[in-house]
């Protein structure tokens, strides 16, 4: 019985501290820049043991006010057109993605910008049910504690945008030699076009597929201009 009581107390303390820390960091990141993410640590670890790669972590946090309005519009058009309306989860997109996966079709997943931000800030890129459950939990916390503007700001500052490149400011300086505040619609759309796989594709060397995706995003951005982005 003592063993069971000990285990019960141990599990209870672990769960309690998990809630304290997860809520605490979510509140903290509501106001402060995210210094580093699990993915950044993983990439540095991979670089350290790959002789063909140099260790690189290029990121430069900028506030949403110093990011061109074209950028949030481009990523909303490309990744999550219901971003301003949903509560963190696009159930229709998730249902469609699940159905297509069941049929063996390789299509874009149903993750929203909020879910991607939760994964990038708090979790590893591993694909399993536990991580998906934690992703849903952190998405709920973020939508409860953060504004949509803050979610977008954090998303644009931590997302991977190339080998060792994180955030829109680092991407703008690397690929276009200008600050994020000066990005044009075409440049923002080109960056958004490579987000599904920024280590495979590069805005500096757009393939025919990426150029086509950029054109599609630009059309979607023109449609979104008819509504108030609010970011």
Q: Is residue 201 part of a domain?
A: yes
Q: Are 163 and 138 in contact (CB under 8 A)?
A: no
pLDDT per position as a tens digit, 118-136: 999 999 888 889 999 999 9
Report the 3 state secondary structure along the chain.
CHHHHHHHHHHHHHHHHHHHHHHHHHHHCCCCCCCCCHHHHHHHHHHHCCCCCCCCCEECCCCHHHCCCHHHHHHHHHHCCCCCCCCCCCHHHHHHHHHHHHCCCCCCCCCCHHHHHHHHHHCCCCCCHHHHHHHHHHHHHHHHHCCHHHHHHHHHHHCEEECCEECHHHHHHHHHCCCHHHCCHHHHHHHHHHCCCCCCCCCCCCCHHHHHHHHHHHHHHHHHCCCCCCC
In angstroms, the CA 181 to CA 137 distance is 33
Q: Are 26 and 141 in contact (CB under 8 A)?
A: yes
Q: Is residue 4 part of a domain?
A: no
Q: Is residue 106 part of a domain?
A: yes
Q: Is residue 229 part of a domain?
A: no
Domain extent at residue 206: 33-49+56-224
Q: How many domains does the chain have?
A: 1
Other beta carbons less than 10 A from residue 182's beta carbon: 12
Q: Is residue 130 part of a domain?
A: yes
Q: Is residue 18 part of a domain?
A: no
Q: Is residue 20 part of a domain?
A: no
Q: Is residue 180 part of a domain?
A: yes
CATH number, position 106: 1.10.3810.10
pLDDT per position as a tens digit, 167-226: 999 999 999 999 999 999 999 999 999 999 999 999 999 999 999 999 999 999 998 865
pTM value is 0.90
């Amino acid at each position: 019985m003592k063993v069971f009581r000990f285990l019960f107390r141990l599990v209870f303390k672990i769960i309690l501290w998990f809630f304290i820390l997860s809520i605490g960091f979510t509140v903290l990141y509501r106001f402060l820049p995210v210094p580093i993410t699990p993915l950044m640590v993983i990439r540095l670890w991979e670089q350290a043991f790959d002789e063909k790669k140099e260790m690189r972590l290029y990121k430069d946090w900028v506030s949403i006010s110093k990011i061109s309005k074209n950028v949030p519009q481009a990523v909303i058009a490309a990744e999550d057109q219901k971003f301003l309306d949903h509560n963190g989860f696009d159930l229709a997109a998730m249902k469609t993605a699940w159905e297509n996966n069941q049929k063996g079709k390789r299509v874009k997943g149903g993750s929203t910008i909020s879910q991607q931000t939760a994964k990038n800030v708090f979790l590893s890129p591993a694909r399993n049910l536990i991580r998906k459950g934690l992703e849903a939990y952190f998405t709920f916390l973020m939508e409860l504690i953060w504004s949509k503007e803050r979610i977008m700001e954090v998303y644009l500052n931590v997302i991977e945008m190339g080998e060792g490149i994180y955030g829109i400011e680092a991407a703008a300086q690397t690929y276009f030699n200008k600050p994020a505040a000066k990005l044009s619609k075409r440049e923002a759309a080109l960056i958004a076009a490579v987000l599904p796989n920024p280590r495979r594709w590069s805005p500096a060397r757009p393939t025919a597929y990426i150029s086509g995706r950029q054109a599609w995003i630009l059309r979607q951005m023109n449609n979104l201009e008819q509504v108030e982005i609010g970011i």
